[in-house]
């Protein structure tokens, strides 16, 4: 970190805000106001605090330079706006991180920045458990059964999932699938007899296109019609947690991520012609 004294002062400022629900609520009320200005009477009407508590905390916020007061109104200072903005971003990031903890435990470091985490916080999460270790994989197949267009970037491949996908393709002629795999998975399809045979069966359906990316794929990205799946695996390649969302911003992000893989991906010519 930087200057130790300066850092300690910053930590104390954060503590000053975080340790008082009243001060947090006051800042939030001011940030939500169109003009960043609130009538003093509004604090009494909107906050479950006594007049004394409100007065004491407004005075403390003013002493720190976060607000300015006149006879009737309270307004955020420029410093107050910046600090409050960063403070509530931190609050949102901590809340999202806690909500997504089973997913982030296995996610590659640095892959998901705070704004994306905030959007993902409301996603449905399916976690592998001892009772149901295939829950993420099953969620993937179940969604394929009720959607028509599928674009997947795969970090791993499993025989169980391939068999389930093949059965689904046999009963649904309207489904189309595009797979992008990394170099290791492409090599597996080419060199492992069992996987090679299973992939040939999948390709014979005429509904699947497989492409090989030069880049490793660190986690599963799935685009199904209007839905996104993000799934992470452990060090042994077992699916651990899956997020499902129809959030437009997440979809746009996932589509961009997928498009970047596809830009460096060529048709998987190593696999024997299935016909």
- What does the alpha-carbon distance between residue 270 and residue 266 come to, in Å, rounded to a whole number? 11
Domain locations in the chain? 4-96, 123-267
**Are 213 and 246 in contact, with CB atoms under 8 Å apart?**
no
Q: What is 4-96's CATH number? A: 1.10.10.10
- What does the alpha-carbon distance between residue 43 and residue 51 come to, in Å, rounded to a whole number? 9
Average pLDDT rounded to a whole number, residues 19-39: 91
pLDDT, tens digit (0-9, with 9 covering 90-100), for 204-242: 888 888 999 988 899 999 999 999 999 999 988 889 999
**Are 105 and 125 in contact, with CB atoms under 8 Å apart?**
no
State the pLDDT at residue 230.
Answer: 98
Pull the structure tokens for residue 202. Answer: 């999948």
Question: Do the two domains 4-96 and 123-267 of this chain adopt the same fold?
Answer: no
Average pLDDT rounded to a whole number, residues 123-138: 94
**How many CB atoms neighbour CB 104 within 10 A?**
19
Pull the structure tokens for residue 23. Answer: 């001060």
Residue 5 clears pLDDT 90, i.e. is over it: no
Q: What is 123-267's CATH number? A: 3.30.870.10
> Rounded to the nearest 5 degrees, what angle is found at the Cα of 121, between the Cα atoms of 247 and 110?
100
Mean pLDDT of the chain: 89
**Are 95 and 41 in contact, with CB atoms under 8 Å apart?**
no
Average pLDDT rounded to a whole number, residues 168-192: 85
């Amino acid at each position: 970190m930087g200057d130790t004294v300066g850092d300690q002062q910053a930590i104390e400022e954060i503590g000053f805000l975080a340790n008082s629900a009243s001060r947090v609520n006051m800042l939030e009320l001011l940030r939500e106001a169109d003009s960043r200005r609130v009538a003093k009477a509004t604090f009494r009407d909107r906050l479950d605090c006594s007049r004394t508590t409100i007065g004491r905390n407004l005075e403390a916020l003013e002493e720190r330079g976060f607000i300015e007061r006149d006879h009737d109104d309270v307004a955020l200072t420029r410093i107050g706006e910046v600090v409050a903005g960063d403070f509530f971003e931190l609050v949102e990031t901590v809340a999202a991180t806690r909500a997504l903890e089973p997913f982030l435990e296995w996610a590659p470091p640095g892959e998901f920045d705070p704004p994306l985490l905030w959007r993902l916080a409301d996603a449905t999460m399916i976690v592998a458990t001892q009772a149901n270790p295939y829950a993420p994989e099953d969620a993937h197949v179940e969604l394929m059964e009720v959607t028509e267009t599928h674009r997947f970037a795969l970090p791993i491949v499993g025989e169980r999932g391939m068999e389930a996908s093949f059965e689904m393709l046999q009963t649904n002629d309207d489904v189309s699938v595009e797979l992008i795999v990394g170099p290791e998975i492409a090599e597996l399809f080419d060199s492992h007899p069992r996987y090679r045979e299973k992939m040939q069966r999948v390709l014979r359906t005429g509904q699947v296109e497989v492409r090989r990316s030069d880049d490793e794929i660190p986690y599963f990205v799935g685009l199904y019609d209007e839905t996104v799946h993000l799934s992470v695996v452990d060090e042994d390649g077992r699916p651990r947690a899956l997020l499902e969302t129809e959030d437009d911003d997440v979809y746009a992000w996932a589509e961009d991520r997928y498009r970047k893989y596809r830009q460096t991906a060529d048709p998987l010519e190593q696999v024997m012609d299935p016909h």
